[in-house]
Each structure stands twice: as C-alpha cells, then as structure tokens.
C-alpha cells in the first residue's frame, strides 16, 4: 500500500533510512532498535487525502490535533484585523499527528505576515503571543466586508524549527486544500469573525480539511 508523503519529508526520510542501514550493517540489533524511529519519521510526513464536507460557509479545521480551550484574543496585529478580541480556536498537533495544514475556507489571501519568536511548548497559551509564527488573513469567497475576514496562524512549537507556507498574498484558495506544514509538533490558531457560529467543543480531536469548526453567517 502506498503511503502519501509530503515533499518536505523526503530528505529527512532518506537520512533516517540511510542511518538505519548503517546501524544495521554495524549491528543488526542496533538497526532493529532504531527502526521504530525511522518508521515514525515516515509517519510524521504522511499526507493523506481529505474531502471537505459540503457547505461553503463551513470553517474547517486547518490541522489534525486536539482543540484547546477556546478564548477571546486579539488577532496578530501585523494582519490589520484591529484591536478587538475575537474568538480564537487553537489546534494542538503532537509529533504523531499529520502535520500538513489545510485552508479553513475558500476565498482570497489578503495578507501574509511572518514574525520570528520563541519556541515555547505549543500547548501553552503564551505560544500564540510569543512563538515564531506565520499569519494569514483570509477573505471568504463572495465576501467584500473586511470585518468578515478571518485569520489562520501557523505557530512553531517546542521542537519545531521550520514553518512552511505555500501561499502568497493575493492567491485564491479553496477550503480543505493543502497550504503548508510545520516541523515538528506545533499548533494552528483560527481567529473567527465576530458573527461566526461555533459548532465544536473544547477537546475535540480534529482532522484537517474535514472537521467543521464554525459556520460563517451571511
């Protein structure tokens, strides 16, 4: 059975497989002991297909993981969404989750902003403020009111050292499509527009591109 792998993973998989081969050549027991680590590396970069649910107003999860407690927080100021707090939904990804990120809505990328920062544990609330991040402001399809924009933020974690974002400002994006990933262990925040109706509970296990977080209102 073919395991789909994200392109970011092939260099790492090659290194782990080569190292495993050397260890096995030196000592079969050492090679066997290291094999689970090699298998974990392959699994980390897996990139399964996902099918978004029907309903263009649905906001889907941008990541696999667990939904942390929802809070009201000010979006990253570099996106220009204003100083008013919005409902923030945060998905924590551990090192065993699929780490490919997907767009929560269809629409247009109206702003992108990278900010360097710290590398606190991504499950901590302070990670949203202090950690390295890549923020995207999205204008939902057929929308013209800037107040209805939402934000999705890739946040590096304790051992994450690379955020990959494959979209550019002005790109048209489709809900559930791949747009990046984070290595290794991290979180994604979604800042909803004020009128969005949340349909998910804290602690829910999410699947990127499939689990509905909220419904946008007309």
| Predicted confidence (pLDDT) per residue in 7-32, tens digit | 887 888 899 899 999 988 888 888 89
| Predicted confidence (pLDDT) per residue in 91-135, tens digit | 998 888 888 999 999 999 999 999 887 766 666 677 777 788 899
Whether 75 shows a pLDDT value over 90: the answer reads yes
pLDDT score at 103: 95
- Is 90 labeled as catalytic in the residue annotation? no
Whether 155 shows a pLDDT value over 70: the answer reads yes
pLDDT score at 130: 76
**Mean pLDDT, the chain, integer:** 88
Q: Are 149 and 76 in contact (CB under 8 A)?
A: no
Q: What is the pTM of this model?
A: 0.87
pLDDT score at 143: 66
Q: Which of 117, 127, 136, 131 is nearest to 79 (CA)?
A: 136
Q: Are 64 and 207 in contact (CB under 8 A)?
A: yes
| Predicted confidence (pLDDT) per residue in 170-191, tens digit | 999 999 999 998 876 688 999 9
Q: Are 212 and 200 in contact (CB under 8 A)?
A: yes
More confident residue, 41 or 138: 138
Rounded to an integer, the average pLDDT of 122-151 is 81
The DSSP H or E segment spanning 211 is none
What is the rounded distance in angstroms from the CA atom of residue 218 to the CA atom of residue 214? 13
- Percent of the chain at pLDDT > 90 equals 49
Rounded to an integer, the average pLDDT of 55-68 is 92
Q: Are 48 and 5 in contact (CB under 8 A)?
A: no
* Three-class SS state of 165: strand
Q: How far apart are the first and last CA of the chain?
A: 44
What's the CA dihedral at 44, 133, 65, 126 to 10 degrees? 130
Q: Are 141 and 105 in contact (CB under 8 A)?
A: yes
The DSSP H or E segment spanning 91 is strand 86-93
* Three-class SS state of 78: helix
- Token pair 């993973």 is found at 9
Q: Which of 58, 106, 135, 186 is catalytic?
A: 186
pLDDT band at 2 (very low <50, low <70, confident <90, very high): low
């Amino acid at each position: 059975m073919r395991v789909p792998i994200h392109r970011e993973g092939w260099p790492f998989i090659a290194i782990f497989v080569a190292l495993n081969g050397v260890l096995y050549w030196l000592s079969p027991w050492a090679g066997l002991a290291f094999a689970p680590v090699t298998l974990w590396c392959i699994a980390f970069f897996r990139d399964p297909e996902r099918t978004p649910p029907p309903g263009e107003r649905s906001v889907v999860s941008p990541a696999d993981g667990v939904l942390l407690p929802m809070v009201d927080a000010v979006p990253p100021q570099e996106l220009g969404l204003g100083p008013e707090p919005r409902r923030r939904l945060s998905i924590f990804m551990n090192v065993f989750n699929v780490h490919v990120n997907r767009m929560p809505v269809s629409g247009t990328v109206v702003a992108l902003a990278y900010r360097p920062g710290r590398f606190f544990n991504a499950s901590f609330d302070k990670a949203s403020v202090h950690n390295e991040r890549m923020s995207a402001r999205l204008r939902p399809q057929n929308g013209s009111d800037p107040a209805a924009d939402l934000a999705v933020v890739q946040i590096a974690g304790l051992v994450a050292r690379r955020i990959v974002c494959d979209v550019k400002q002005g790109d048209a994006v489709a809900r559930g499509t791949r747009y990046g990933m984070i290595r290794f262990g991290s979180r994604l925040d979604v800042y909803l527009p004020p009128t969005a109706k949340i349909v998910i509970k804290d602690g829910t296990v999410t699947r990127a591109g499939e689990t509905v977080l909220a419904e946008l209102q007309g």
